[in-house]
Amino acid sequence: MSDVQFRELRHAPAMPVNFAKAVMRAGVKPGKNPTLPNVGLRLNDVGLDSKHLKAYRKVCGFSADGRLPITYPHIHAFPLHMALMMEDGFPFPAMGLVHVRNRITQYRPIAEREQLNIKCSLGNLNQVEKGWEFSIFTVITTAGERVWSSESINFFRGGGHGRKEEKKAAGEPAPATDTVEWKVPGNTGRRYGAVSGDRNPIHLYPLTAKLFGFKRQIAHGMWSKARALAQLQSQLPEEAFRVDVQFKLPMFIPATVKFEQQPAADGVDFRVLARDGVKPHLTGQLRLLGE
């Protein structure tokens, strides 16, 4: 990331403009040897709106405690993510990408009134069996102190090397010590889209989702992660920790799903399963950072 050429923005990129550009770039092809532009975006002194924060907490299930929900900074970084994917030379169509994994590191709790400085960049382009993966990195500082970072791994289907990749045997999951059932309304995608700006048609209505090959609308992956961490809110550490999630099967909504957690060394493992308790929508691992 040291050779990234950062460009400073005066305002957050407008999400309707980002989506309009994404539609115009729908026909972009990566070619045989795609590369990522070495550009980054920086947005400083982002103040937080109390009404927006309240709406985010409500749709994701967080309670008000004077601190930002751990997933909330992603909402302010996402317009920069989209803008990076609209840059000249970006090899993939944004509308054809799948968010497959996400890692968030919180170095300390962030108070509601702190202003955020956000930097986003691209990296880690890798050819995999069925296509390409790349990362969008985000670093957030306040008053010169790094307080939060993330890596969002996205997948483009097509042009993969075709070689089967050896996967470690998962083994039997540890017995869950706590299971909670969630009712996920059909308007969850619209409500989350309103606060996140991510109004991808696959999340909104049955008709708009069917246009992209889904039988009905699906929940946002980052909503699922946020909802899981809201369930764990009282257990989140004061010290630095990291939360990794792997997005699995899409969650068609409305839905009834199960959230399960079990203790692990230096943290907790959790998952969101379909109502049958078998099909996974999300798996996650929360771990304290080593000294």
CATH number at 70 reads 3.10.129.10
Reported as a single tens digit per residue, the pLDDT across 71-90 is: 999 999 999 999 999 999 99
Task: For Cα atoms 143, 223, 139, give the angle at the middle one, nearest 5 degrees.
Answer: 25
Note the pLDDT of residue 1. Answer: 46
Over the chain, what is the mean pLDDT? Answer: 92
pLDDT in tens, 226-274: 999 999 999 999 999 999 999 999 999 999 999 999 999 899 999 999 9
List the domain range (segments joined by +) for residue 76. 1-160
Q: With 80 as the cut, is the pLDDT of residue 2 above it?
A: no
Phi-psi region of 147 (alpha: psi -120 to 50; beta: other; left: phi over 0): alpha
Do 61 and 137 share a domain, yes or no?
yes
The answer for residues whose C-beta is within 8 angstroms of residue 42's C-beta and 6 or more apart is 6, 7, 8, 9, 117, 118, 119, 120
Q: Which long-range contacts (CB under 8 A, 24 or more apart) does 211-218 make?
A: 214/250, 214/252, 215/252, 216/186, 216/252, 216/253, 217/186, 217/189, 217/252, 217/253, 218/189, 218/250, 218/251, 218/252, 218/253
DSSP 82-102: HHHTTSTT--S-GGGEEEEEE
Residue with tokens 């309103």: 194
Residue 207 has pLDDT above 80, yes or no: yes
Same domain assignment for residues 196 and 87:
no
pLDDT at residue 211, rounded to an integer: 86
**Number of domains observed in the structure of the chain:** 2
Instruction: Please answer whether residues 12 and 79 qualify as being in contact, where contact means their C-beta atoms are separated by less than 8 angstroms.
Output: yes
Type and span of the H or E element at 219: none
Lowest mean pLDDT among 155-164, 178-187, 264-273: 155-164
Q: Would 166 be classed as within a structural domain?
A: no
Say if residue 29 is in the same domain as residue 133: yes
Per-residue model confidence (pLDDT) at position 177: 65
Strands 39-46 and 5-9: parallel
Q: Is residue 168 part of a domain?
A: no
- Token pair belonging to 21: 């550009």
User: Do 58 and 143 belong to one domain?
Assistant: yes
**Strands 39-46 and 267-274, how do they pair?**
unpaired
Distance CA 270, CA 234 (A): 15
> Among the three residues 113, 133, 160, which one is the final residue of a domain in this structure?
160
